[in-house]
Amino acid sequence: MNIYFFYKNENNSSWYDFTLEAWEENDNTYVEGKRASSFSLMEKVSIHMAKNHTCKTERRTFHCARFDHEFGMNLCMGHSAKSINEFRMAKTENGYYPMTETSHKNFQRFKKMMLTIYHNYPSVNYTAHLFKDAPACRILF
Determine the structural domain holding residue 21 and report its residue range: 3-125
Confidence (pLDDT) at 64: 79
Q: Going by C-beta distance under 8 Å and a sequence separation of 6 or more, which residues neighbour residue 21?
A: 5, 6, 7, 41, 43, 44, 91, 99
pLDDT exceeds cutoff 70 at 129: no
Residue 60 lies in a domain: yes
pLDDT exceeds cutoff 60 at 101: yes
pLDDT exceeds cutoff 90 at 45: yes
Region of 101 on the Ramachandran plot (φ > 0 left; ψ -120 to 50 alpha; else beta): beta
Confidence (pLDDT) at 49: 86
Mean pLDDT of the chain, nearest integer? 80
Residue 137 lies in a domain: no
Residue 135 lies in a domain: no
Residue 134 lies in a domain: no
* pLDDT band with cut points at 50, 70 and 90 for residue 65: confident
Q: Going by C-beta distance under 8 Å and a sequence separation of 6 or more, which residues neighbour residue 96?
A: none
**Residue with more model confidence, 28 or 49:** 49
Handedness of CA 12, 13, 14, 15 (dihedral sign): positive
The residue among 76, 79, 74, 70 whose CA lies nearest residue 20 is: 70
**Residue with more model confidence, 28 or 87:** 87
DSSP string, 70-110: EE-SS-S-EE--SSHHHHHHHHHTSSSS--EEE-HHHHHHH
Which residues are paired to 15 by β-bridges?
A: 50
Confidence (pLDDT) at 6: 94
Residue 47 lies in a domain: yes
Residue 28 lies in a domain: yes
* pLDDT band with cut points at 50, 70 and 90 for residue 53: low
Indicate the number of domains in the chain: 1
Give the rounded percent of residues in the chain with a pLDDT score beyond 90. 25
pLDDT exceeds cutoff 60 at 82: yes
Which of the listed ranges 27-41, 75-89, 126-140 does the model predict with the highest average pLDDT? 75-89
Residue 136 lies in a domain: no
Residue 140 lies in a domain: no
Check: CB of residue 35 under 8 Å from CB of residue 19.
no
